[in-house]
Structure 1
C-alpha cells in the first residue's frame, strides 16, 4: 500500500548535505622557482592533485590556488568544486611576497561568497623555495604579521596546514618560515630533490581525501619518509 502524499514519509527530515571541504594551495611562483625544474614539477603535481580531487566520491572538495610572485599575490584558481576546477600552469617571475599570500588566504577563508559558511575544517598547503621578500626583492619580515593575522582568524586558526620546501637551495631561515606556518611539524616536508614534490602532493592528496566525509584515516606512508635531511 502506498503512503499518501504528505504522509509520514514526506514528513521525515532530510539529512543535511555534506559540508564541502576547502583546500587552498599557496604557491611560490617567484623567479627562482624557474630553476632546477621546480615550477615544472609543481605544475605537474598540482594538475594530478586536481584530477584526484575531482574523482573523490565521498564528498565535495573546494579547491583554490593563490600564487605569490612578480610583486603581488593573486588568486590563480578561485575556490571551485573540484569536479569543475581546471588547472592552468603557473609561470615564475619576480620576488616572493608571501605576506600578501597569507593575507589573501585569510580574506578568502572569510569570504562566504567564495567558501560557504557551512564547511569542513579547511586545509592550507604552502609551497616555497625561498625566504619571503618585499617588493624590492630584499628579505622582509612582513610575513610574520600576515601569518599572525591568518592564524588568529577563526578559519585560519582551525585549518590544518601543510608545507613543502622545494629545491636544494632552501636556507635555514626560509625553512623556519614554513615551520612557523604548519599546524604540526610532521606536516613540513623538505624536498631538496625536486622530484620529491610529486611524492609530497601524493601524500597531501591522500591525507586530504581521507578527511572527506569526516575523520582522517592513517596516511598510506609517513611524510617523514619523504625528507631528504636525516
Structure 2
C-alpha cells in the first residue's frame, strides 16, 4: 500500500509538471520571499563567527535550489539585508537559481531596530503581491541590540506581511539575547535556534533553507478552517545538535 501511494504521488507530480509546459496550461506559481537578516556587528568578528556564517549560507545555496525545483507551488526569491551601525540591503530579491552570496565583514554596532524598519518598508502591497505566500524572515545575531529595537519590531509587525511572515531566528553563540530573538519569532511553540559552533550554524542554516522553505509554501491560510489565531505554517522540529568538544561560542 505504501508503494502504491508513492506511485500515485509521483504521477500527480508529473501531471503538474506536464501542465506547466503545455501552451495556455501553465500553473501560476506564487511568489515566496526568503529574506536573510544578518548581524555583522563588531562582535561577529570574534571566534570566526562571520566567516562561519558566510560559509554556511554558501553551503546552503545548492540545497535551497534543489528544494525549490521540487516546489510546484512557489517561485522562490531570496534577498538579504545586514545590520551593524545602521542597516542596508545587500542583495535585492533574486530568483533562487541566480542567487549568489558575497562574503560580508563585521564591524560597528548592532542596530537591529534599523534593520526591522528597513524590512518593514517592503512588507506591504506593493512591492509584495496579493497572491504571494507568507515570506520567510531569518534573523541571525550574536548579541544585544544597541538601538531601539522595540519600535522597529512594532513597525515590522504592523505591516500585513510582517504579521503573516514565518519568522525564524538563529542565536550565534551563548551571548546572543535570546529573549529578543524570541520576541521576533512571536510564537511560543518555537524557540530561537542556538548555534554554539560552526557545524551547528551550518546545519541550522541548511534546515531553514530547505525544510522551512518547503513548509512555507503550504500555509494554513489556504485552508477554510484557518482562523488566524495560530501560526500560519506548520514547521517541523529542527534537528537536535549534540554538544561536543567543538562547542566554542
TM-score by length of 2: 0.74
> Residue 90 of structure 1: CA displacement?
0.9
User: Which residue does 1:83 correspond to in 2?
Assistant: 97
The separation in 2 between residues aligned to 1:164 and 1:108, in whole angstroms, is 22
Instruction: Give how far 1:48 is off.
Output: 2.2
Question: Counterpart in 1 of 2:152?
Answer: 146
Q: Provide the secondary structure at the position in 2 that maps to 1:225.
A: coil
Cα distance in 1 for residues equivalent to 2:239 and 2:202: 15
1:8-87 alignment, distance < 5 Å: 14=25, 16-55=27-66, 56-57=68-69, 58=71, 59-69=74-84, 71-87=85-101
Q: Distance in 2 between matches of 1:106 and 1:93?
A: 24
Deviation at 1:23, TM superposition (A): 0.7
Q: How many residues align?
A: 203
Moved more, 45-54 or 99-108: 45-54
Q: Provide the secondary structure at the position in 2 that maps to 1:151.
A: helix
Q: Secondary structure in 1 aligned to 2:240?
A: helix
Deviation at 1:22, TM superposition (A): 0.6
Superposed displacement of residue 217, structure 1: 7.3
Mapped contact 1:27–1:65 kept (Cα < 8 A): yes
Equivalent-residue separation in structure 2 for 1:112 and 1:207 (angstroms): 28
Partner Cα separation in structure 1 for residue 33 and residue 191 of structure 2: 18
Q: Do 2:141 and 2:170's aligned partners in 1 also have CA atoms closer than 8 Å?
A: yes
Aligned position for 2:183 = 180
Note the alpha carbon deviations across 1:201-226, whole angstroms, 9 max, x for none: 1221222332365356774xx32723
How much does 1:179 deviate? Answer: 0.8
Q: Deviations over 1:93-145 (max 9, x none)?
A: 101010011011111223634x44431111100000011013xxxxxxx1001
Matching residue within 132, 145, 160 for 1:132: 145
1:198 and 2:197 correspond? no
CA RMSD in angstroms comes to: 2.4
User: Which of residues 92, 112, 119 in structure 1 aligns to 2:126?
Assistant: 112
Give yes or no for the alignment of 1:161 onto 2:157.
no
Q: 1:36 Cα shift?
A: 1.4
Unpaired segments ≥5 residues, structure 1: 1-11, 135-141
Distance in 1 between residues matched to 2:115 and 2:157, nearest whole Å: 13
Q: In 2 relative to 1, CA 105–72 (structure 1 residues): closer, same or farther, beyond 3 Å?
A: same
CA–CA distance in 2 between the matches of 1:226 and 1:111?
39
Cross-structure match for 1:208: 212
